[in-house]
Amino acid sequence: MQPTALLSFVLLAGSAASKTVFSAVSVNGLSQGHGVGIRVPSTNAPITDLTSNDIICNTGISTPVSQTVIPVKAGDAITAQFHKSPLGYLGPDPSDPIDPTNKGPVIAYLAKVPSATQTTVTGLQWFKIGQNGLNPTTHQWGSDLLFANGGNATFTVPSCLESGQYLFRAEAIALQNAASYPGAQFYMSCAQLSISGPTSFKTPATVSFPGAYTPSSPGIVSNIVGVTSYTVPGPDVFTC
Ligand SMILES: *[C@@H]1O[C@H](CO)[C@@H](O)[C@H](O)[C@H]1NC(C)=O
Protein backbone atom coordinates (compact mmCIF):
# COMPACT_ATOMS: atom_id res chain seq x y z
CA MET A 1 0.00 0.00 0.00
CA GLN A 2 1.30 3.50 -0.85
CA PRO A 3 1.87 5.78 2.16
CA THR A 4 -0.95 8.11 1.03
CA ALA A 5 -3.35 5.18 0.63
CA LEU A 6 -2.36 3.90 4.06
CA LEU A 7 -2.97 7.33 5.58
CA SER A 8 -6.46 7.63 4.10
CA PHE A 9 -7.24 4.08 5.27
CA VAL A 10 -6.21 5.02 8.81
CA LEU A 11 -8.29 8.22 8.69
CA LEU A 12 -11.33 6.32 7.42
CA ALA A 13 -10.93 3.64 10.09
CA GLY A 14 -10.59 6.34 12.73
CA SER A 15 -13.79 8.08 11.68
CA ALA A 16 -15.97 4.94 11.78
CA ALA A 17 -19.14 5.22 13.81
CA SER A 18 -19.64 2.23 16.09
CA LYS A 19 -23.42 2.13 15.59
CA THR A 20 -25.23 0.29 18.33
CA VAL A 21 -28.77 0.44 19.73
CA PHE A 22 -30.17 -0.66 23.11
CA SER A 23 -33.48 -2.22 22.02
CA ALA A 24 -34.51 -4.88 24.57
CA VAL A 25 -34.45 -5.49 28.31
CA SER A 26 -33.92 -8.69 30.29
CA VAL A 27 -34.89 -9.08 33.93
CA ASN A 28 -32.94 -11.73 35.86
CA GLY A 29 -31.84 -13.15 32.49
CA LEU A 30 -35.33 -13.33 30.99
CA SER A 31 -35.71 -11.23 27.86
CA GLN A 32 -38.86 -9.09 27.78
CA GLY A 33 -38.78 -9.06 23.96
CA HIS A 34 -37.44 -6.72 21.34
CA GLY A 35 -38.90 -3.22 21.69
CA VAL A 36 -41.05 -4.18 24.68
CA GLY A 37 -41.13 -1.55 27.41
CA ILE A 38 -38.45 0.51 25.69
CA ARG A 39 -38.25 3.56 23.43
CA VAL A 40 -36.14 2.29 20.52
CA PRO A 41 -34.42 4.83 18.28
CA SER A 42 -35.20 4.20 14.61
CA THR A 43 -31.55 4.52 13.56
CA ASN A 44 -28.20 3.54 15.06
CA ALA A 45 -26.74 7.01 14.54
CA PRO A 46 -24.83 8.44 17.52
CA ILE A 47 -25.77 11.48 19.56
CA THR A 48 -22.77 13.84 19.80
CA ASP A 49 -24.27 17.15 21.01
CA LEU A 50 -24.17 17.22 24.81
CA THR A 51 -26.42 20.31 24.97
CA SER A 52 -29.27 18.69 23.03
CA ASN A 53 -32.28 17.04 24.65
CA ASP A 54 -31.43 14.09 22.37
CA ILE A 55 -28.76 13.12 24.94
CA ILE A 56 -31.56 12.15 27.37
CA CYS A 57 -33.34 9.25 25.65
CA ASN A 58 -32.14 9.59 22.02
CA THR A 59 -34.27 10.86 19.14
CA GLY A 60 -36.30 9.60 16.19
CA ILE A 61 -38.00 6.97 18.35
CA SER A 62 -39.66 4.11 16.44
CA THR A 63 -43.44 4.18 16.56
CA PRO A 64 -45.72 2.94 17.93
CA VAL A 65 -43.83 3.33 21.21
CA SER A 66 -44.35 0.39 23.55
CA GLN A 67 -46.82 1.14 26.35
CA THR A 68 -45.51 -1.77 28.42
CA VAL A 69 -44.01 -1.00 31.80
CA ILE A 70 -41.61 -3.76 32.87
CA PRO A 71 -42.02 -4.91 36.48
CA VAL A 72 -38.78 -5.37 38.41
CA LYS A 73 -37.82 -5.68 42.06
CA ALA A 74 -35.12 -3.77 43.87
CA GLY A 75 -32.08 -6.06 43.78
CA ASP A 76 -33.00 -7.68 40.43
CA ALA A 77 -30.50 -7.99 37.59
CA ILE A 78 -31.47 -5.81 34.67
CA THR A 79 -29.82 -6.29 31.29
CA ALA A 80 -29.68 -3.80 28.45
CA GLN A 81 -29.44 -5.69 25.14
CA PHE A 82 -27.50 -3.74 22.51
CA HIS A 83 -27.30 -4.66 18.83
CA LYS A 84 -25.96 -3.00 15.73
CA SER A 85 -29.43 -2.65 14.21
CA PRO A 86 -32.44 -0.96 15.84
CA LEU A 87 -34.28 -4.14 14.79
CA GLY A 88 -32.19 -6.17 17.26
CA TYR A 89 -30.16 -9.28 16.53
CA LEU A 90 -30.15 -10.05 12.82
CA GLY A 91 -27.66 -12.93 12.77
CA PRO A 92 -23.89 -13.28 12.93
CA ASP A 93 -22.11 -10.00 12.16
CA PRO A 94 -18.51 -9.17 13.13
CA SER A 95 -19.57 -5.65 14.14
CA ASP A 96 -22.60 -6.72 16.21
CA PRO A 97 -23.35 -5.53 18.88
CA ILE A 98 -20.63 -2.94 18.35
CA ASP A 99 -17.58 -2.62 16.11
CA PRO A 100 -14.93 -4.28 18.32
CA THR A 101 -12.33 -1.67 17.35
CA ASN A 102 -14.50 1.03 18.91
CA LYS A 103 -13.84 1.44 22.62
CA GLY A 104 -15.57 3.13 25.49
CA PRO A 105 -17.62 2.79 28.66
CA VAL A 106 -21.11 1.34 29.14
CA ILE A 107 -23.21 3.09 31.80
CA ALA A 108 -26.71 2.80 33.31
CA TYR A 109 -28.93 5.39 35.01
CA LEU A 110 -32.41 5.52 36.51
CA ALA A 111 -34.82 8.46 36.97
CA LYS A 112 -38.01 8.33 39.04
CA VAL A 113 -41.02 9.49 37.03
CA PRO A 114 -44.75 9.97 37.69
CA SER A 115 -45.51 7.54 34.83
CA ALA A 116 -42.97 5.36 32.99
CA THR A 117 -44.97 5.77 29.76
CA GLN A 118 -44.96 9.59 29.91
CA THR A 119 -43.52 11.12 26.77
CA THR A 120 -41.76 13.96 28.61
CA VAL A 121 -38.13 13.16 29.40
CA THR A 122 -36.83 16.68 30.06
CA GLY A 123 -36.29 17.90 33.62
CA LEU A 124 -35.77 14.43 35.11
CA GLN A 125 -33.35 13.68 37.95
CA TRP A 126 -30.99 10.84 37.07
CA PHE A 127 -28.71 8.67 39.18
CA LYS A 128 -26.14 6.18 38.01
CA ILE A 129 -26.59 2.51 38.97
CA GLY A 130 -23.57 0.99 37.26
CA GLN A 131 -20.70 1.48 34.85
CA ASN A 132 -17.96 -0.40 33.06
CA GLY A 133 -15.10 1.88 32.03
CA LEU A 134 -11.54 0.63 31.44
CA ASN A 135 -10.50 -2.26 33.68
CA PRO A 136 -6.92 -1.38 34.71
CA THR A 137 -6.00 -5.06 35.16
CA THR A 138 -7.53 -6.70 32.09
CA HIS A 139 -7.40 -3.52 29.93
CA GLN A 140 -10.95 -4.37 28.82
CA TRP A 141 -13.34 -1.54 28.11
CA GLY A 142 -17.05 -1.71 28.82
CA SER A 143 -17.46 -1.98 25.04
CA ASP A 144 -15.19 -5.07 25.05
CA LEU A 145 -17.38 -6.70 27.70
CA LEU A 146 -20.47 -5.76 25.69
CA PHE A 147 -18.96 -7.43 22.63
CA ALA A 148 -17.92 -10.52 24.61
CA ASN A 149 -21.40 -10.80 26.12
CA GLY A 150 -23.24 -10.67 22.80
CA GLY A 151 -24.59 -7.17 23.50
CA ASN A 152 -25.80 -7.82 27.05
CA ALA A 153 -24.83 -5.23 29.69
CA THR A 154 -26.14 -6.29 33.10
CA PHE A 155 -26.66 -4.02 36.11
CA THR A 156 -28.24 -4.43 39.55
CA VAL A 157 -31.34 -2.46 40.48
CA PRO A 158 -30.26 -0.96 43.83
CA SER A 159 -31.76 -3.01 46.67
CA CYS A 160 -32.58 0.12 48.71
CA LEU A 161 -34.62 1.90 46.01
CA GLU A 162 -38.05 3.42 46.65
CA SER A 163 -40.98 1.77 44.85
CA GLY A 164 -42.25 3.61 41.82
CA GLN A 165 -42.07 4.13 38.10
CA TYR A 166 -38.65 4.76 36.61
CA LEU A 167 -36.93 5.29 33.29
CA PHE A 168 -33.82 3.14 32.79
CA ARG A 169 -31.23 4.85 30.58
CA ALA A 170 -28.44 2.55 29.37
CA GLU A 171 -25.67 4.04 27.28
CA ALA A 172 -22.61 2.96 25.32
CA ILE A 173 -20.04 5.66 24.56
CA ALA A 174 -17.54 5.24 21.71
CA LEU A 175 -14.35 7.24 22.13
CA GLN A 176 -12.37 6.56 18.96
CA ASN A 177 -13.09 10.10 17.71
CA ALA A 178 -13.15 11.79 21.11
CA ALA A 179 -9.82 13.64 21.08
CA SER A 180 -11.81 16.86 20.59
CA TYR A 181 -15.43 17.99 21.09
CA PRO A 182 -17.78 17.06 19.54
CA GLY A 183 -16.34 13.63 18.91
CA ALA A 184 -17.45 11.10 21.51
CA GLN A 185 -20.45 9.10 20.26
CA PHE A 186 -23.32 8.41 22.66
CA TYR A 187 -25.74 5.53 22.06
CA MET A 188 -28.61 5.30 24.53
CA SER A 189 -32.24 4.30 24.93
CA CYS A 190 -34.72 4.56 27.80
CA ALA A 191 -36.75 1.63 29.10
CA GLN A 192 -39.91 1.83 31.20
CA LEU A 193 -39.80 0.18 34.63
CA SER A 194 -42.07 -0.28 37.61
CA ILE A 195 -39.80 -1.02 40.56
CA SER A 196 -41.03 -2.53 43.79
CA GLY A 197 -38.68 -1.68 46.60
CA PRO A 198 -38.42 -1.88 50.38
CA THR A 199 -40.52 0.31 52.68
CA SER A 200 -37.31 1.71 54.13
CA PHE A 201 -35.35 3.16 51.21
CA LYS A 202 -32.49 5.52 50.40
CA THR A 203 -32.77 8.57 48.16
CA PRO A 204 -29.96 8.96 45.65
CA ALA A 205 -28.22 12.20 44.69
CA THR A 206 -29.11 13.09 41.11
CA VAL A 207 -27.91 14.87 37.98
CA SER A 208 -29.68 16.30 34.92
CA PHE A 209 -29.46 15.54 31.21
CA PRO A 210 -28.42 17.64 29.41
CA GLY A 211 -25.88 18.87 31.94
CA ALA A 212 -24.34 15.78 33.52
CA TYR A 213 -21.81 15.65 30.67
CA THR A 214 -19.99 18.69 29.32
CA PRO A 215 -16.99 18.99 27.00
CA SER A 216 -14.82 19.58 30.08
CA SER A 217 -16.17 16.61 32.11
CA PRO A 218 -13.60 13.86 32.72
CA GLY A 219 -13.99 11.04 30.20
CA ILE A 220 -15.63 13.07 27.42
CA VAL A 221 -12.76 14.64 25.46
CA SER A 222 -10.38 11.69 25.57
CA ASN A 223 -7.51 10.43 23.48
CA ILE A 224 -7.72 6.74 24.34
CA VAL A 225 -4.78 5.49 22.28
CA GLY A 226 -2.57 3.57 24.71
CA VAL A 227 -4.31 4.76 27.87
CA THR A 228 -4.15 2.58 30.98
CA SER A 229 -6.68 4.50 33.07
CA TYR A 230 -9.91 6.28 32.26
CA THR A 231 -12.49 8.21 34.30
CA VAL A 232 -16.08 7.36 33.33
CA PRO A 233 -18.16 10.54 32.89
CA GLY A 234 -21.08 11.42 35.12
CA PRO A 235 -21.66 11.09 38.86
CA ASP A 236 -20.53 8.33 41.22
CA VAL A 237 -22.55 5.12 41.15
CA PHE A 238 -25.35 5.22 43.74
CA THR A 239 -24.77 2.60 46.43
CA CYS A 240 -27.16 1.44 49.13
C1 LIG B 1 -28.11 -12.15 26.26
O2 LIG B 1 -29.32 -12.12 26.96
C3 LIG B 1 -30.36 -12.88 26.33
C4 LIG B 1 -31.64 -12.64 27.09
O5 LIG B 1 -31.47 -12.73 28.48
C6 LIG B 1 -29.95 -14.34 26.30
O7 LIG B 1 -30.96 -15.09 25.65
C8 LIG B 1 -28.65 -14.47 25.56
O9 LIG B 1 -28.21 -15.82 25.63
C10 LIG B 1 -27.58 -13.58 26.17
N11 LIG B 1 -26.39 -13.63 25.34
C12 LIG B 1 -25.19 -13.95 25.84
C13 LIG B 1 -24.08 -14.04 24.85
O14 LIG B 1 -25.01 -14.15 27.03
Q: Give the pLDDT score at 2.
A: 46
- The finding on whether 31 has its CB within 6 A of some atom of ligand 1 is yes
| Residue nearest atom 5 of ligand 1, based on CA coordinates | 29
Q: Give the pLDDT score at 8.
A: 42
Q: Give the pLDDT score at 9.
A: 43
- The finding on whether 154 has its CB within 6 A of some atom of ligand 1 is no
Q: Would you tell me how many other CB atoms lie within 10 Å of the CB of residue 82?
A: 31
| Residue nearest atom 9 of ligand 1, based on CA coordinates | 150
Q: Give the pLDDT score at 13.
A: 43
pLDDT 10s digit of each residue in the chain, 240 long? Answer: 444 444 444 444 444 566 999 999 999 999 999 999 999 999 999 999 999 999 999 999 999 999 999 999 999 999 999 999 999 999 999 999 999 999 999 999 999 999 999 999 999 999 999 999 999 999 999 999 999 999 999 999 999 999 999 999 999 999 999 999 999 999 999 999 999 999 999 999 999 999 999 999 999 999 999 999 999 999 999 999
| Residue nearest atom 3 of ligand 1, based on CA coordinates | 31
- Report CA Rg, the chain: 18
Q: Report in angstroms the alpha-carbon separations of 223 from 10, 40, 62, 129, 183.
A: 16, 30, 34, 26, 10
- The finding on whether 28 has its CB within 6 A of some atom of ligand 1 is no
Q: Give the pLDDT score at 17.
A: 61
Residue 56 DSSP symbol: H
Q: Are 133 and 142 in contact (CB under 8 A)?
A: yes
Nearest-atom number in ligand 1 for the CA of 26 is: 5
Q: Give the pLDDT score at 218.
A: 96
Q: Give the pLDDT score at 166.
A: 99
| 148 alpha carbon – ligand 1 mean position (Å) | 11
Q: Give the pLDDT score at 112.
A: 98
- The finding on whether 42 has its CB within 6 A of some atom of ligand 1 is no
| 152 alpha carbon – ligand 1 mean position (Å) | 6
Q: Parallel, antiparallel, or unpaired for β 21-27 and 70-73?
A: unpaired
- The finding on whether 149 has its CB within 6 A of some atom of ligand 1 is yes
| 206 alpha carbon – ligand 1 mean position (Å) | 31
| 50 alpha carbon – ligand 1 mean position (Å) | 31
Q: Give the pLDDT score at 16.
A: 55
Class of domain 18-196: mainly beta
| 6 alpha carbon – ligand 1 mean position (Å) | 38
Nearest-atom number in ligand 1 for the CA of 152 is: 1
Q: Which residues contact 127 (CB under 8 A, 6 or more apart)?
A: 109, 110, 111, 204, 205, 206, 207, 235, 238
| Residue nearest atom 7 of ligand 1, based on CA coordinates | 31
Q: How many residues are recorded in the chain?
A: 240
